[in-house]
């Protein structure tokens, strides 16, 4: 994007508080088109529902473009007997509450996928919360937990090595990176969909011409074969969009998760 825009792009990592430190920094920045935020669904949709914030992402940020899909994979240790999601569901129904799954923290993508999985499959499983994907993989490999909707980059090497088994992906369409792995929806849970996209947003009030130029630069950058190849190697799929398409996806996810988070009582302290 820097080459396309003729401007240096400085990446400033602001980790912490479920990405909300970075979000707040973007909200407080001048709306001049020179500050953008690479945000997760969690930061844009889940955080305002599950924790108290000093800002409202939907009110204080505006859509620029989708960026990438960071898809999760429903995985189990290779020594478990389940060969597909239907068999995992059957095992969970036979022993309510006994099977456990790893998450990267309360209200993170793997946790929400597990909550929705329980809800839609009619099962009861137990979340085990970790601080990051590496610890999930460690306990999957040791057999301390039974499954996880883990991020692709954290588990693809172990799947390829035969140490973890991929049962399904939690999106409505199969991933181009794992075309032979079915979706959860194909495996007996129709409509199951937990996307994991990242998107670029900007402070509200950013001029429309600047937003249009940034969205165009994002699309051009993501269309570059080298960029696509690099993203794919890291378990990511390019997903550029118009600002309107991002706004629609943002609203759709908000409508889906609001009742689930409310009814499940999920809170981030």
CATH assignment of the domain containing 83: 3.40.190.10
CA 134 – CA 140 distance, rounded (Å): 10
pLDDT of residue 48: 87
**pLDDT digit string, tens, across residues 79-93:** 999 999 999 999 999
pLDDT of residue 269: 65
CA 150 – CA 148 distance, rounded (Å): 5
* Whether residue 8 is found in the same domain as residue 110: no
End position of a domain, from candidates 187, 208, 243: 187
* Whether residue 180 is found in the same domain as residue 80: yes
- The first and second tokens of residue 186, run together, are 């194909």
**pLDDT digit string, tens, across residues 174-221:** 988 889 999 999 999 999 999 889 999 999 999 999 999 999 999 999
pLDDT of residue 233: 85
Biggest CA pair distance of the chain: 60
Structural domain count, the chain: 2
> Does 86 map to a domain?
yes
pLDDT of residue 24: 93
Contact yes or no for 86/171 (Cβ under 8 A): no
pLDDT of residue 216: 97
* Whether residue 183 is found in the same domain as residue 200: no
18: pLDDT strictly greater than 70: no
| 163 band by pLDDT with thresholds 50, 70 and 90 | very high
> Does 205 map to a domain?
yes
End position of a domain, from candidates 187, 220, 247: 187
> Does 269 map to a domain?
no
CA 201 – CA 209 distance, rounded (Å): 14
Produce one character per residue of 152-161: b if its CB has 16 or more CB atoms within 10 Å, e if not. Answer: bebbbebbee
CB neighbourhood size of 21 (10 A): 13
Contact yes or no for 44/57 (Cβ under 8 A): yes
């Amino acid at each position: 994007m820097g080459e396309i825009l003729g401007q240096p792009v400085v990446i400033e990592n602001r980790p912490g508080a479920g990405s909300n430190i970075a979000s707040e920094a973007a909200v407080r920045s001048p709306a001049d088109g020179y500050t953008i935020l690479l945000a997760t669904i969690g930061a844009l949709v889940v955080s305002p529902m599950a924790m108290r914030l000093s800002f409202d992402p939907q009110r204080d940020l505006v859509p620029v473009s989708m960026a990438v899909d960071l898809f999760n994979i429903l995985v189990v240790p290779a020594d478990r007997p389940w060969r597909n999601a239907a068999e995992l569901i059957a095992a969970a129904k036979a022993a309510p509450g006994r099977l456990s799954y790893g998450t990267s923290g309360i209200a993170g993508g793997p946790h929400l996928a597990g909550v929705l999985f329980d809800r839609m499959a009619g099962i009861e499983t137990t979340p085990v919360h970790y601080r990051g994907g590496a610890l999930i993989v460690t306990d999957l490999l040791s057999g301390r937990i039974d499954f996880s909707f883990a991020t692709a980059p954290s588990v693809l090497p172990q799947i390829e090595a035969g140490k973890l088994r991929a049962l399904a992906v939690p999106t409505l369409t199969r991933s181009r990176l794992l075309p032979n792995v079915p979706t959860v929806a194909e495996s007996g849970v129709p409509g199951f969909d937990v996307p994991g996209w990242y998107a670029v947003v900007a402070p509200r009030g950013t001029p429309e011409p600047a937003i249009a130029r940034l969205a165009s630069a994002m699309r051009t950058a993501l269309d570059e074969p080298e960029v696509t190849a690099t993203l794919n190697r890291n378990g990511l799929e390019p997903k550029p969009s118009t600002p309107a398409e991002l706004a629609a996806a943002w609203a759709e996810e908000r409508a889906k998760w609001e009742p689930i988070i409310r009814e499940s009582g999920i809170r981030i302290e």
